[in-house]
Amino acid sequence: MNIQIIPLQTHGDDRGSLVALEDGNNIPFEIKRVYYMFNTKDGVRRGFHAHKHLKQVAIAVRGTCRFLLDNGRERIEVVLDNPAQGLLIESFMWREMYDFSDDCVLMVLADQHYDESDYVRDYEDFLEQSK
């Protein structure tokens, strides 16, 4: 399975570090929505869905977490622990997120507004539709 980690150029100097996100540049779609998860409780596993059309890039801007990505044929685990790396999540990819560190802030950029009808929340339906 081809997982794309986008390296995000870090502008650093003696004041610290800065990463800029620009659609059409380091983000391969027009950014229509940004959301972020934080204060995720111990032992929590989130996600458990795929999207019919939505593309996203996930960045652990602080702390660490793990992603399980599943395209219906293969599953892969990805660790996000670097604010200068973005994980591209294409459509029709089942995802689960877990092992959030206490300080984890997981930011997600998306190419569409929130739309419940774009979700596939049943794993069996996902397997059927991803054939």
Which of 18/103 has CB closer to ligand TYD? Answer: 103
Strands 85-89 and 56-62: antiparallel
Residue 49 among the catalytic residues: yes
69: nearest Cα among 44, 37, 98: 98
Q: How far is the CB of 3 from ligand TYD (least distance, A)?
A: 19
Residue burial 55-79, b: 16+ Cβ < 10 Å; e: rest: bbbbbbbebebbbbbbbbeeeeebe
Of 45 and 75, which has the nearer Cβ to ligand TYD?
45
Q: Which of left, alpha, beta for 86 (phi over 0: left; psi -120 to 50: alpha)?
A: beta
**Per-residue contact flags (x/-) with ligand TYD for residues 108 to 127, judged by CB under 6 A:** ------x-------------
- Whichever of 6 and 33 has its CB closer to ligand TYD, that residue is 33
Tell me the C-alpha distance between 86 and 5, whole Å. Answer: 6
Q: Does 62 bind ligand TYD (CB under 6 A)?
A: no
46 binds ligand TYD (CB under 6 A): yes
Which residues of the shown chain bind ligand TYD in the complex (CB under 6 A)? 33, 35, 46-47, 114
